[in-house]
Chains A and B, each alone.
Chain A
């Protein structure tokens, strides 16, 4: 009995003794699931995780994490049930590509402020973190200005004083040129505080800062130079539009930054594989000592940082899941890869007088072209993961009748005249019009497809990285800037290594240089890398190429204007291979090709002047009446 009484006493003591703590002590518990600001800024590893989050929020338009965005501008067809609408809307919405994330900018500014106040970190760590955050912030303003034009430049975290009057927090839009100037000067300021090392590729380096500077200055320069042709796309306050007089200075800055990367010698073009096409495709997937990659968003298997690009786009016949084949490069893109003698030509489906051309091998029609073609696109009859894709649309009889099927690799019985029995009438990868995952344009994409086993499985996914800046682009920037500054020979010299790697070994001369050439080179070298929209916008070619006029098969047979920068490019076309069936004829068993427009392509894209700078949503203007609207909307 006594024991029980003692036990009771102990329990009561323990229970009530607890409550004798002061309230303030009891309520002020340190949370166990978040870290305080002070604690974070004592440990470089914790700060690294903060800046990791800031890196992660960096925006991209058109990336391997959003394959469908590559199909918006007729570079590819979206072979996926829910995405056909991308080829059925004539106009781009004024709100397309808009982005306005000042919460992100605030977090960057807060990070910078705390970084400057931090005392417990080593000086080297602190300087690097601050330089990285300034690099990201410059990148964010660059992303903003290329979408929206001039935006308010906020470089300090702003605090509300609860006075009921928030007008002092409202800032007007800076001029478009001022935002570019800010980006360039920030990158100039931090470049020497960042490590200068080619092996650091997913964090900011001197090379990344200079590559971004080179690109930003080039964008500003071309807006100044070509904005003259679209005078309406400007605002009286300079929030949109850069005076033509500033072009030269920006071109010089762009060239200067590119030259600094080149002379530092940290980077070089990727040339590990003697097969030029395979080399070009592994440039994007090889993550071990890749000397070309300057700045990338990295992924890692067995974490939640993996992506499904390969699942979405792997050839259907050899897919590791019951899907794939969504992104089908268009004939528009495919035919723009040059022949090895530096000339442009349509793929010869018909000869000059319009008669069909018969090919013994299905790949023969693509022979003698820029090696980047087969590195960017899976052509019919070529391989991915050591399996040959099966892309052919059916049999064509002597009288032109087509025998085909409506399912992957369908077989039919007694369909070929004089040949009883079951026969496969269409490729296991299509193309079948209107059947998702089949190669509806006749091609599959190869760039960024991961050759690793399991990359096409939902349970594994892919860790191929997304390259934001690479050395070849720096050379193209230098070429474009040199050309604009009147040094055509210099431009040709910068292009040479890039073209040599593509097998185009006949060097271009100064006389060959033109804006058309440079536009073409960027289009084929940087296809599916998220450059297309911004490049066309800054050259003010977007409203000319996406002009709303329908295209026809004649644009793809014996076309003479393939190398013209302002060429109409409003609808996706495809090229389908047929097996010619005519026993006894010399051409029996050979391949013929037809230019087709997928039936899901119903509208011609039209880029209006109001699309050059995206719509600023009305709620942003309501919160801050100092914001002026973008023009032509």
Chain B
């Protein structure tokens, strides 16, 4: 019995020592983060719907690293050091991305050596300005102004503006308790939009909601939002 036991121990030792070898590569350790901005102001979007691609040339088979933008316009990625190319694919996000001479989406060279914070400048169709949210007798009232940023041939109209409220801080078309939509004539004066929604019963009860105003631009899939606000009542 004894020799067999030794043999077993030796076998296990060899087996497990084998797995103590270092991995071939270190895990990516360089942080790449920042915001998408227009004139230093973050662009608020719906989380998980807007992303850019990072391509690293020179390694044979290519595949993009998709980096998601969170709802407040921040992004962050863990990368290896190296040279990357950053690009938003066409029709991504509620903004325009510069095109190169051939009419394709232009790329931005990103050199990573050590962590880096970078704000990515984009050109939104509209910005939601002066958003104010107030609580009043079971309702949330809100007002804002929409500023048209792109006014040349690429300008687009607004399809609808929507006030969303939700019980968590994720507030958008897919995550909301209720909403109020302004369309057509209600959008005549973009300098002065006002909303009012009744807060439904929330289970379990809470004495606050989160609110945002979203703007759907016609012919653009992703909405642009106002900054998030917690409304206490």
Contacts and interface: CB of A to CB of B under 8 A. Distances in A.
A618 to B, nearest CB: 5
Interface in A572-617: 603-604, 606, 608-609
B174 A232 contact: no
B29 interface: no
Given A232-B219, A232-B221, A619 B61 contact: yes
A549 B89 CA distance: 26
A629 B91 contact: no
A181 B63 CA distance: 33
B54 to A, nearest CB: 14
B103 A548 contact: no
Contact of A549 (B62, B173, B221): B173
Measured as residues with beta carbon below 8 angstroms from the partner, the interface class of chain B is: 10 to 19
Interface string A299-338: 0000000000000000000000000000000000000000
A236 interface: yes
B221 A622 contact: no
A2 B44 CA distance: 104
Among the interface residues B48, B91, B92, B174, which one has the most CB atoms of the partner chain A within 10 A?
B174
A608 B63 contact: no
Among the interface residues B62, B103, B221, which one has the most CB atoms of the partner chain A within 10 A?
B221
Contacts of A236: 103
A632 interface: yes
A87 to B, nearest CB: 14
Contacts of B221: 232, 608-609, 632
B90 interface: yes
A618 B62 contact: yes
B64 interface: yes
Interface string A231-244: 11000100000000
Interface string B131-157: 000000000000000000000000000
A192 interface: no
A633 interface: yes
B101 to A, nearest CB: 15
A85 interface: no
A632 B62 contact: no
Contacts of B48: 91
Contact of A90 (B89, B174, B220): B174
A629 B103 contact: no
Interface in B143-181: 173-174
B173 A632 contact: no
Contact of A633 (B63, B89, B173, B174): B89
A567 to B, nearest CB: 16
A632 B61 contact: no
Interface in B193-233: 219-221
A497 interface: no
Contacts of A604: 174
Contacts of A232: 91, 219-221
Given A548-B173, A606-B174, A631-B91, A231 B61 contact: no
B8 to A, nearest CB: 40
A549 B174 CA distance: 6
A632 B49 CA distance: 11
A631 B219 CA distance: 14
A77 B48 CA distance: 26
Contacts of A609: 91, 221
Contacts of B103: 236
A352 to B, nearest CB: 24
Interface string B83-97: 000000111100000
Contacts of A622: 61-63
Contacts of A231: 219
Nearest to B218: A231
Contacts of B61: 619, 622
A552 to B, nearest CB: 10
Given A232-B91, A232-B221, A618 B174 contact: no
A232 B220 CA distance: 8
Contacts of A606: 173-174
A91 B50 CA distance: 13
A549 B214 CA distance: 14
A631 B90 contact: yes
A84 B67 CA distance: 29
A632 B222 CA distance: 11
A548 B223 CA distance: 13
A629 B219 contact: no
A304 to B, nearest CB: 39
Contacts of A548: 173-174
B63 A632 contact: no
Contacts of B92: 632
Among the interface residues A604, A629, A632, which one has the most CB atoms of the partner chain B within 10 A?
A632
B217 to A, nearest CB: 11
Nearest to A231: B219
A432 B63 CA distance: 46
A232 B91 CA distance: 7
Interface string A1-15: 000000000000000
A232 B90 CA distance: 9
A236 B103 CA distance: 10
8 contacts: A231-B219, A548-B174, A603-B174, A606-B174, A608-B49, A609-B91, A618-B62, A631-B91
Given A232-B221, A606-B174, A632-B221, 4 more contacts: A232-B220, A236-B103, A549-B173, A622-B61
